[in-house]
Amino acid sequence: MDLFDSNTAERTNLPRNMIENSMFEEEPDVVDLAKDSNTFPAFSTLDPDEVAYEPRSSRLLVRGLGENDMDDDEEDCESSARLLGMSFMNRSSAHRSNSSPYIRQSPPRTCSRPSACTMVVCVLVLVIVASLVMVMYLLPGCTFTRAGCPKSNKTAPLEPVYPNSTNGELFPWAELRLPHSIQPLSYELTLTPDLDNMTFTGRTVIKMSVLHSTKRIVLHAANLNITKAMFKLGDGQAHDVTVLEYKPRQQIAVKFPEELKTGQQCVLIFDYSANLSHTYDGFYNSSYTDKDGNKRVLAATQFEPLSARKAFPCFDEPSFKATFLIRINRKPSYMTLSNMPQTKTTPISNDLMQDEFEKTNVNMSTYLVAFIVGNFTSVSSNAAGTNVSVYSIPEKKEQTGFALATASKLLQFYNGFFEIEYPLKKLDLVAIPDFLAGAMENWGLITFRETTLLLDSNSSHLEKQVVASVIAHELAHQWFGNLVTMSWWNDLWLNEGFATYMEYMSLQEILPNLDTGNLFLSVRFRAMDKDALNSSHPVSTEVNTPEQVEEMFDSVSYEKGASILLMLNASLPKEQQFKKGIIQYLNTYSGLNTQTEDLWNSLTQVEVSTPRQNISEMMSSWTSQKGFPLVTVSRKGDQVTLSQEPFLLTSDNTTQKSRLWNIPITYVNDSCSLALQCRQMYTLKYKTENLKVPESVKWLKLNYKNTGFYVVDYGNDGWNALIEALSKNISVLTPEDRASLIYNIFALSRLGRVPFQQVLHLLNSMSGETEPSPVTEALLQLNSIYRLLDKRQESGLAARMKAYIMNHFGSLMKNQSWGEEQSLSKQELRSALVSTACILNEESCTDQAKSLFKKYHDSNFTIKIPGDLQQAVFTVAAQSEDDWETLLELYTATTHDAEKRKMLKGLASTQDPRRIAWILKAGLNGDIIQTQELPLIINTVCNGFAGYLFAWDFIQVNWDRLIEKFPVGSFAIQTIVKSTTSQFSTQAHLDQVQAFFSSLKQRGSQMRSVQEALETIRLNKRWMESNLKAIGKWH
Ligand SMILES: [Zn+2]
């Protein structure tokens, strides 16, 4: 999946607040349940409907089921973490009311008619029981930690209490993950969507194989009304069965009186009905207004990560791969699409046709299944034997050309690069009018937002860059993700990190004029911003709840994953070992599921002529621990000392200082610093190591072109030497290295390692800078400080900051033309400079923008505004009453989606409170503005002074409606939380944010993005408190 509103799409809007930082400083091994939400999220929000575990005497009993009912393999599945979780739940069960729905053993019925004698007996029994319990819990050395008292418990296995099904019967499974006793082999789905009533009916036939003898089949279903279920064993007769449902886990089950035996095959058949979803997942309805003003409806799917179960009963985990045969019944006026080519169409009644699709020739995870019903037109071409088509609603057919050409090129590139042919006969790319993610890689049927697929002939290079990047990402998934899939969501980065890395790598090869190198560099900086927080997580991290699955779709899985792959590739001799290794990985695990270690092993074991590196050893330090290292360089003569420590923007991190990474350090020096051949390598494995350089070397620059995922502090002398060299000649370093120095020094300033004055010295030494990467990075950092000052109403200091920015970049800003610009790098530079100048209300900029909008308006919108300037022009226009109205009319009329989005951002940047209120509400209602755009609206509103407090109120008041549309933990919710809170820097706001989110309980209080928000506010506060004076004094 592509998240879209992440770094890629937001690139051209400069400053987001990047001063980030902390509060939850506890180590994972500190026993503090309230805070250790990642490991035991269910504890503090324990729902009465969830499974409980109870102590009884010194052991726990399975309630209601004989112990033999548990499969051996399932007992093995009880992870130690799970067991630990249970022991704590034991304590909470004491607080449960008697209305708990779980089947419990009846309490002893003694004392039901109390007499003096029985009272005495009862009291005695109670005292004995209480004493036993106390002795057990208070044994010397047995502290009641999360681990309970494991050593004394050897003969007492912890076993679950099974919950009640909706019909009151015992549900035979008590885990989030399904048992592995049954393996689905094939699905046959027949679906009949009714787009008039927004409902559908379905029949699902699942063939399965019994891997381990069992008396139950457990699978997923959510919000499906199952009207009939049948079961068939081997060649026997099908007979009706009762389906038990446990809604909190979205599981259903069928119990059998006799064991199904290992090796047997069986079939389950479900008939059911459901509503088409009104959110953006499952089988959902979408609508748009056509060019004649008529409302058109369609239905499409979005199953990743947990929503296939909302369209059909299934084993909805990525490791349960199977084949799929899909049939869809539709009205003659609609068409349908699915993963595979259509094989036949049969009329089944007067107004119903049945489309049948080929059975998949590959085993596929459920989250990759897709189907669409609607009215689309397409363009097609043949690329290396695969029929590639791009679908859009009819009036946007003209906008599909670039996508078709790019997808065809990329398909051929990947066929060659991976040395494995794309396995399906067709590849469809479909632009869906209302779609939340950027795109979704369903095998053979990739779905996109219109903005990420469609371009008209006037589109700018920057718009092409977005579309090409998203296509490249989704196509890479057809191998990384679809052919080889992570076993569980904890390793999502194997899908997303790789697709993100391949997206930049492939485009640099086949469309170098799109200049994606700069984009990738800024993406790596942003990934480090997030990973520097204590609330970050390891790339490969434990995932135990649906919300945690949603939260894996974040910049750590995507951008940090991609960054460490780049670092690995850049540190290996040429591309040989890397490329051969990933080809071997794809071949070895084709059609299967993997874990992170499988990738590292493939890369380590591959045959290469150059000395082979132990990749597993090096890379596991990057995937198994959160954060990244700060490398400190100090030098005495020819002796250079390198040392590493975790880069953590928090003060109390004593225990984490022991973390070490295996860092492939690269460096250049003053005698040779630009070409790849200048680069020297050194692997830093220990805390401190020494290397030698010739004494004549004047300065060192580490992390050549910033391909490594670490920050470098050169110490006072080292920084001064670099600043001196740059003052004389800025071209002694590559533009990437200059951007890297800027990022590093701001990061060190945030950490309190270098004074803000030193940051300014570095910037001053680069006053002649004209390359986009260093300029955009410097602007982004300075703007974020400006915004914090502005929001704190430190108007004097904000004015100083503005003056500094204008002083430093003013002449470069003034040199920008306002006409068409062909070079992409010049467009990037201009877009950043002009946006900043106009945001800062620089008169020459706003005058130019106003006059350009007037020309556009007077020409009846036929004179084109250059694509890279549109955002600045629309934003300036939206500040005037009349032009805001004009812009709204234009927004509703335009069919060019990239431009439309920029108009929307313009509209949302208004400083008029009534309009801010209106646009937030319109985004939530979804009539004039599609709800998919709400995260973008909130983000834009928050950037302005007038709206950021308003937006914070808005999300508090409307939280329940927001999480109805966007799941708790999803990327959209992460964006909303971050946007509304990341510019606070006072104690009062910190208290407010903390109070609001903790009041949400299971409706969001456990989200990692909440911890991140609190941490960020604390760091903003700390930075402001320690730097306000320095900013006040600087000149
Ligand atoms: Zn993806």
Output the CA 409–ligand 1 centroid distance in Å: 19
pLDDT tens by residue, 950-976: 999 999 999 999 999 898 999 999 999
pLDDT score for 289: 86
pLDDT band, residue 367 (cuts 50/70/90): very high
> Starting from the edge strand earliest in sequence, which strands make up the sheet with 225-233, in order?
239-240, 225-233, 265-275, 199-210, 182-194, 323-330, 352-357, 342-349
Q: What is the DSSP string of 582-616?
A: HHHHHHHTTTSEE-HHHHHHHHHHS--SSPP--HH
Degrees, nearest 5: CA angle 139-32-963: 140
Neighbours of 659 (CB within 10 A): 17
- In whole angstroms, what is the distance from residue 980 CA to residue 962 CA? 13
Location of structure tokens 């004039």: 928
CA 792–ligand 1 middle distance (angstroms): 38
Q: How far apart are CA 247 and CA 203, in angstroms?
A: 20
Say if residue 786's pLDDT is above 50. Answer: yes
| Amino acid identity for residue 146 in this structure | R
| pLDDT higher than threshold 80 for residue 471 | yes
- Give 438 Cα–ligand 1 centroid separation in angstroms: 9
Percent of the chain residues past pLDDT 70, beyond the cut: 83
Tell me if residue 469 falls in helix, strand or coil.
helix
Asked if 875 and 884 touch (Cβ cutoff 8 Å), the reply is no
* Separation of CA 24 and ligand 1 centre (Å): 30
Which 3 state secondary structure label does DSSP give 21?
coil
Beta-carbon contacts of 6 under 8 Å, excluding residues fewer than 6 positions away, are: 555, 558, 559, 971
Locate the DSSP E strands across 577-697.
Answer: 593-594, 629-636, 639-646, 663-669, 680-684, 688-692
Using CA atoms, how far apart are residues 70 and 66, in angstroms rounded to an integer?
8
Residue 691 has pLDDT above 80, yes or no: yes
DSSP 732-775: GS-HHHHHHHHHHHHHHHHHTSS-HHHHHHHHHHTTT---HHHH
Nearest to 850 by CA among 862, 827, 833, 834: 834
**End-to-end Cα, the chain, rounded Å:** 47
Read off the pLDDT band of 175 (50, 70, 90): very high
Q: What is the pLDDT of residue 501?
A: 97
The number of residues in the chain equals 1035
Confidence of residue 378 (pLDDT cuts 50, 70, 90): very high
Neighbouring residues of 1029: CB distance < 8 A, sequence distance ≥ 6 = none
Here the tokens at position 628 are: 């990244």
CB 956 within 8 A of CB 996: yes
- What is the per-residue pLDDT for 121? 55
Over residues 695-745, the pLDDT tens digits come to 999 999 999 999 999 999 999 999 999 999 999 999 999 999 999 999 999
**Residue 436's pLDDT band (cuts 50, 70, 90):** confident
Q: How far is CA 202 from CA 183, 226, 390, 594, in A?
A: 22, 9, 28, 32
pLDDT level of residue 616 (50, 70, 90 thresholds) = confident
Packing angle of the helix pair 897-908, 867-877 (nearest 10 deg): 30
pTM of the shown model: 0.84
Torsion (CA) 574, 580, 582, 583 in degrees, nearest 10: 140
Return the H-helix or E-strand segment holding 285: strand 282-289
Buried b (16+ CB within 10 A) or exposed e, 191-206: bbbbbeeeebbbbbbb
For the beta sheet containing 700-702, the strands, ordered from the edge strand earlier in sequence to the opposite edge, are 680-684, 663-669, 700-702
pLDDT at 766 (0 to 100) = 93
Nearest alpha-carbon partner for 193 in 338, 79, 33: 338
Residue 134: CB partners within 8 Å, gap ≥ 6? none
The CA distances from residue 120 to 106, 116, 126, 127, 361, in Å, are 21, 6, 10, 11, 73
C-alpha of residue 400 to centroid of ligand 1, in Å: 21
Sign of torsion, CA 687 693 696 702? Answer: negative
Amino acid code (one letter) for 699: W
How high is the pLDDT of residue 149? 40
CB 167 within 8 A of CB 253: no
The mean pLDDT of the chain is: 85
Neighbours of ion ligand 1 (CB under 5 A): 1, 496, 499
The answer to whether residue 611 scores a pLDDT higher than 80 is no
pLDDT at 649: 85
- Least confident range from 115-129, 228-242, 484-498, 1014-1028: namely 115-129
Token pair of 324, please? 């799929």
Q: Rounded to the nearest whole angstrom, what is the distance from the C-alpha of residue 510 to the centroid of ligand 1?
A: 20
Calculate what percentage of the chain has a pLDDT beyond 90.
72
SS (H, E, C) 394-449: HHHHHHCHHHHHHHHHHHHHHHHHHCCCCCCCEEEEEEECCCCCCEECCCCEEEEE
The burial class, CB within 10 Å (0-12 / 13-18 / 19+), for 62 is middle
Q: Choose the catalytic residue: 74, 356, 358, 474.
A: 474
DSSP 170: B
DSSP string covering 963-1001: HHHS-TTSHHHHHHHHHHHTT--SHHHHHHHHHHHHHTG
Amino acid, single-letter form, for residue 190: T
- pLDDT band of residue 551 (cuts 50, 70, 90) is very high
Split at pLDDT 50, 70, 90, the class of 656 is low
Q: For 560, which DSSP code?
A: I
User: ∠ CA(434), CA(436), CA(440), 5° rounding?
Assistant: 100
Query: 801 with 766: CB under 8 angstroms?
Result: no
**Å from CA of 4 to ligand 1 middle:** 10
| Both tokens assigned to 822 | 């062909």
Three-class DSSP category at 1018? helix
Distance (Å) from CA 899 to ligand 1 centroid: 24
Q: What is the pLDDT of residue 459?
A: 84
d(CA 223, CA 446): 25
- pLDDT (mean) for 851-867: 92
pLDDT band at 131; cut points 50, 70, 90: low
Least confident of 46-60, 64-78, 620-634, 963-977: 46-60
The Cα 761–Cα 778 span in angstroms is: 13
* Cβ–Cβ < 8 Å for 875, 831: no
Amino acid at 789: L
Lowest mean pLDDT among 320-329, 620-629, 654-663: 654-663
474 is catalytic: yes
- The pLDDT confidence band at residue 482, using thresholds 50, 70 and 90, is very high
CA 508 to centroid of ligand 1, rounded, Å: 18
Residue 295 in tokens? 């409302």
